[in-house]
Amino acid sequence: MRIEQLTFTRFVAALLIVVFHFGSGDSYFNSEYIQFLFKQANVGVSYFFILSGFVMIIAYHKKNKINFIDYMISRFARIYPMYLIAILLLLVLSIISNKVNYLDVFLNIFMVQAWIPGKALAFNIPAWSLSVELFFYLLFPFLFNRFYSKISYNKLIIPILLFWLISQLLFHYFNYQTTFTSFFYNTYDLNFHPIFHLNEFLIGNLAGLYFVKKGNKTKNYDFHIIGLVTLVLIALKFPIGLNFHNGFLAILFVPIIILLSLNNGFLTKLFNKKGFIFLGEISYGLYILQFIVWVYVSDYRLEKYFGLDKAEDFLFCFFLRLLILIGLSVISYLYVEKPIRDKIKYYAQKRKKVIN
């Protein structure tokens, strides 16, 4: 079961994260009217985690039990091929420039960098979230087989909401304790630690369970969705000391996801158009390849080969790189990501038939 209108939202979130990482040097993105959005666009990662939890329930809710091996092969096919290609592309440039940290490469290959103090952003910076996502993937079969498939939705509400609330309280407490250090972790490490992002995945699971149990009333929710998005913008504009990086905005993201899933209005019809769905499909490449494009298409190369000045031509250079990134994401999706994924799934199905 796929809810296609959600697919395009992944592209929007990925695009905002690209601007967050690489757009801060331009006065347009730093305008007093829109700076608040791009300065905190890393909440797109929080949206990814919540959406991931929601989608996992939608994908597996009809099963009585998840087979861990089959499930992990499917998850591996979804994320690892492009993830590894991104590592290899960055490794080539690192070797050429003689700036290889093999520990960082090792941590990235095994997707454990988010667990190691000071290493979450090592090597391929955006890949830290995939390290967190892997933790969710490993945990989900246990959660589903032990709880979601056996315990009623109503009995799961309070434990998950309590875990979300405690996570928010602890995260904000530690963030205000700037000298916090424990088990070799400091305050900055906690921004990327998988445990502190687990609440987002679980609240996404809860939203998914609600949708499959009670989400049967489709109607035009365009106005409600636009209103909730407006509230997100207001929250980012006036954060009143709150940190939204670790799931606080679930209070708005969850109803947006649910209402968009139930919506039959203009927004759903628009997002269900093939072009918008395709943009959502390439969003993973857009996210995981962003740092590689900015490293290869460096300020030095743009100035040396094209005479583009770092300061004067910043906006043009940003959109040039973005265009290259989108093009590379399209190519990688069509000729690398999707074919490899389909091949892995094909051989997995053959293996299953042989075993049976």
Helix (H), strand (E), coil (C) string for 191-253: CCCHHHHHHHHHHHHHHHHHHHHHCCCCECCHHHHHHHHHHHHHHHHCCCCCCCCCCCCHHHH
Residue 189 near residue 117, CB atoms below 8 Å = yes
Q: Decide which of 234 and 27 is more confident.
A: 234
Instruction: Select the more confidently predicted residue: 171 or 187.
Output: 171
Q: What are phi and psi for residue 68, nearest 5 degrees?
A: -60, -45
For residue 180, pLDDT beyond 60: no
User: With bands split at pLDDT 50, 70 and 90, how would you rate the model's confidence at 183?
Assistant: low
Q: So what's the pLDDT on residue 305?
A: 84
Residue type, 87: I
Q: What is the pLDDT of residue 243?
A: 87
- Residue 57 tokens read as 């329930």
> Is residue 40 scored above 60 in pLDDT?
yes
**Number of domains within the chain:** 1
Tokens of 273: 């158009």
Residue 99 to residue 202: CA distance in whole angstroms: 39
Instruction: Give the pLDDT mean for 16-20.
Output: 92
| Lowest-pLDDT range of 242-246, 249-253, 349-353 | 349-353
The fraction of the chain above a pLDDT of 70, given in percent, is 95
pLDDT in tens, 79-129: 999 999 999 999 999 998 888 999 999 999 999 999 999 999 999 999 999
Least confident of 83-87, 157-161, 302-306, 336-340: 302-306
Higher pLDDT, 252 or 349: 252
Residues 6+ apart with CB under 8 A from 249: 43, 46, 47, 232, 235
Give yes or no for a contact between 53 and 143, defined as CB atoms under 8 angstroms apart.
Answer: no
Amino acid at 95: I
* 3-class secondary structure, 180: coil
Distance from chain centroid for Cα 38 = 16
Q: Calculate the alpha carbon distances from 177 to 40, 73, 163, 243 in Å.
A: 21, 41, 21, 13
Residue 141: both structure tokens together:
């079969």
Nearby residues of 300 by Cβ (< 8 Å), 6 or more positions away: none
At residue 217 the predicted structure's pLDDT band, cuts being 50, 70 and 90, is confident
* Confidence band for 37, pLDDT divided at 50, 70 and 90: confident
- Please give the pLDDT value at position 148: 96
Question: Residue 250's pLDDT band (boundaries 50, 70, 90)?
Answer: very high
Parent domain of 21: 4-355
Average of per-residue pLDDT across 131-156: 95
135-144, 236-245, 272-281: range with lowest mean pLDDT: 236-245
Q: In the Cβ-directed half-sphere of 98, how many Cα atoms lie within 13 Å?
A: 0
pLDDT at 97: 86
Q: Tokens standing for 140?
A: 């989900």
Least confident of 54-63, 184-193, 345-354: 345-354
Going 216 to 222 to 227 to 230, the CA torsion angle's sign is positive
Sign of the Cα pseudo-torsion (325, 192, 255, 259, in order)? positive
pLDDT of residue 185: 75
Instruction: Calculate the CA 288 to chain-centre distance.
Output: 10
d(CA 284, CA 125): 14
pLDDT of 31 reads 73
What values do phi and psi take at 348, rounded to 5? -65, -40
